[in-house]
Amino acid sequence: MRFIFKTDYDQDIRILKHSGYWWSYGILLAVMVATPYVLGSYMQSQLVFVFIYAIVGVALMILTGFTGQASLGHAAFLAIGAYTAGFMQSLGVPFIVYFPLAAVLTGVVGALVGFPALRLHGIYLVIATIAFAFIVEEVLARWESVTHGNEGMRVRTLDLFDIPIPRDSDAFYFLCLLVLVGVSVLALNLLRSPTGRAFIAIRDSETAGKSMGIDLAAYKVKSFAISAAITGMAGVLFAHKMTFISPEMFTLLLSIEFIMVIIIGGAFGVHGAIFGAIFIVMVDPFLTALKDDVPVLVSSIASSLGMAKETATDLRDDLSRIGSAAGLKGAIYGLIIMMFILFEPYGLYGRWLKVKLFFQLFPLYKRATFKRQKTYVKSERNR
Amino acid sequence: MSFFTVDGISLQFGGLKAVDDVSFSVSKGEIFTIIGPNGAGKTSIFNLISRLYNPTSGRLSFEDSDITEVPPHQIAKLGIARTFQNIELFENASMLANLLVGRHCHATTALWQDMLFMPSVRRAEKAHRRKVEEVIEFLDLQAYRDKIIAGLPYGVRKVIEVARALCSEPKLILLDEPSSGLNVEETDDMSFWIRDIRSELGITVLMVEHDMSLVNRVSDRVLALNYGKVLASGTPSEVQAHPDVIAAYLGA
Ligand SMILES: Nc1ncnc2c1ncn2[C@@H]1O[C@H](COP(=O)(O)OP(=O)(O)O)[C@@H](O)[C@H]1O
Ligand SMILES: [Mg+2]
């Protein structure tokens, strides 16, 4: 295993802690750059969604993972970014202007949403963010002069310095990758600076944070604003990827998917957001396949085991009715969230770290390595 | 005016007077201890000083300025740091991160600079880390630098909390029961550190403590409290000989 001897402060401060990481991340980047030339267009398109979800994941990681403020309103921030892009583009504003503008606008809205967070905690804050998301959905449906209401809005092809970048092009893939990498670097920078530590302090102990000189109000609002602004950027990319946006695309279910990204991936690092995004984006085609193939498979197995033909057909129809029942997706998501919270609270990234440690320490790994040690405070002992 | 003064301060929770017209003053370079049975209002006084609670009446002043109305997050910047009776560390962060939060009141960089990690941020980070290393050295915490707090023993956390307070380079440090939950050797270490904090770092110490042998070893002056009221104050031996204090402790 590798021991790292620290000899100067920069070693702690650097994002990539030692030379090995330069290699692994370099190779990862090379693979990502080569991907469009290797993978089919379907997979490439899925990867674009992975990038967009991962950008939102990074945004939520800053807010929920590091500042401890839950939100089920991120679909609304995505919508604000997306509609800003659509509307600005229709006015002839160039991408290079409306992209940052969408981020700023969404950030301002995020800061406003952050104000209730000064007084609300936990589930109450979640309810407040859901309420906010409903308001946004309603505004999008009603403000027809800008949003075209429930009819939805066409988003024209992205145009960067007069070069069109269609949604399925390699250039669009690279643009999304670039934004993801950029946003990740910003997030990592935050986390190694006083601002990021203030976020962590708020998450773990508001009382102590206050006494250490952290202005809770200011930092909660900052966290909301940053998270919203990043989500707004994702919204711009989302709008161009979809080419059509309408209010019913930005519902509570989408916000739940975003929360799942960080619960499944692990909310304590940028890696988690990316793992989670891969999982969420890939689970959808998987569920579709399941819905289409499982009933056929089960009924053919049943009939080959001697079941009467009609009963087998009935069975197939029953199963596909269950498979296409409304709300099934939500139920499966709920189940996945529960499983992760119960069995893998550190998410896929946490699992990955454990596997890595197992190989580093082999054969000395103890199962208890990640167990939290029992501690007690005196007041508990006296009871 | 003296270094730190509490003037007729009271705090009421509903019908309960947790702190009742308490006055005392602490001189620069002193180790001043508040003693009293459980529920006497000692922690409440600390919470008043760090502005987590608003007093019902009375004034607080520090270095000739009135701090009764100062918002809680500006107290650290004025030079008052504290520890908590039940340990309020940032559990899911490393010790280093915890101590660096202690430097927060000296942070000068703006949000956008942090986001881009400008050279000024890097310079400031290094300066913070140098200071933090001094404190780590001072309290012998080298072994825990990169450890997550959640896995550390109680005694170590207690010391880390003192370290975090010291990282803010305070002029006055408030220690709420620094020895509670510590074993005999750990308590011994703590008593040496408290004296060193005063003599080597020149920081004035205001503490709440139950362990009378520790109180006697380190305190210059003691104030005894019961039901939110001052019973007696003076040197440790004077206070312990006071009949009201004896009565309060024997429950008579
Ligand atoms: N936030 C609060 N709300 C209501 N009562 C409180 C609160 N904090 C402390 N008290 C009460 O005030 C009294 C003094 O408490 P405290 O200052 O913690 O005592 P000590 O630290 O001396 O043991 C106790 O009776 C306690 O129950
Ligand atoms: Mg107490």
Fold assignment, B1-79+170-252: Rossmann fold (3.40.50)
Contact B164 A212 (CB under 8 A): yes
Residue ending a domain, among A280, A311, A336, is A280
Nearest CA to A268 out of A343, A366, A353 is that of A353
Which residues of chain A does B124 touch, with a Cβ-Cβ cutoff of 8 Å? 194
pLDDT digits (tens, 9 = 90+) for A173-203: 889 999 999 999 999 898 889 999 999 999 8
**Residue A19: is its pLDDT beyond 70?**
no
Alpha helices, DSSP H only, in chain A?
9-13, 19-38, 41-60, 74-90, 95-114, 122-142, 144-147, 170-191, 194-204, 206-211, 216-242, 252-265, 270-304, 309-323, 328-343, 347-361, 378-382
Residue ending a domain, among A232, A257, A280, is A280
Which ligand minimizes its atom distance to the CA of B180?
2
**Residue A107: is its pLDDT beyond 60?**
yes
**Residue B89: is its pLDDT beyond 80?**
yes
- Ligand 1 atom closest to the Cα of residue B38 is 23
Asked whether residue A161 falls in the same domain as residue A238, the answer is: yes
Asked whether residue A116 falls in the same domain as residue A232, the answer is: yes
Give residue limits of the domains in chain B: 1-79+170-252, 91-168
B75 lines ligand 1 (CB under 6 A): no
Does any domain span residue A33?
no
Residue B202, judged by CB atoms within 10 A of its CB (0-12, 13-18, 19+), counts as exposed
Asked whether residue A62 falls in the same domain as residue A108, the answer is: yes
Which residues of chain B does A208 touch, with a Cβ-Cβ cutoff of 8 Å? 84, 88-90
Round to whole Å and give the CA distance between A362 and A220.
Answer: 42
Asked whether residue A302 falls in the same domain as residue A337, the answer is: yes
Which residues of chain B does A215 touch, with a Cβ-Cβ cutoff of 8 Å? 71, 73
The whole domain housing A333 covers: 285-370
Asked whether residue A132 falls in the same domain as residue A168, the answer is: yes
Asked whether residue A112 falls in the same domain as residue A173, the answer is: yes
Asked whether residue A297 falls in the same domain as residue A170, the answer is: no
Contact B114 A195 (CB under 8 A): yes
State how far residue B228 is from chain A, nearest Cα, in angstroms: 20
Contact B151 A373 (CB under 8 A): yes
pLDDT digits (tens, 9 = 90+) for A233-247: 999 999 998 888 888
Asked whether residue A90 falls in the same domain as residue A125, the answer is: yes
Does any domain span residue A7?
no
pLDDT digits (tens, 9 = 90+) for B137-183: 999 898 898 888 888 888 899 999 999 999 999 999 999 999 988 88
Mean pLDDT for the stretch of residues A245-264? 86
- By Cβ distance, the residue of B92, B111, B177 closest to A195 is B111
**Residue A383: is its pLDDT beyond 50?**
no
Supply the pLDDT for residue A382: 33
Asked whether residue A274 falls in the same domain as residue A296, the answer is: no
Best to test chain B binding among A211, A222, A370 (most B CBs inside 10 Å) = A211
Q: How many domains does chain A have?
A: 2
Asked whether residue A310 falls in the same domain as residue A357, the answer is: yes
- By Cβ distance, the residue of B75, B97, B111 closest to A200 is B97
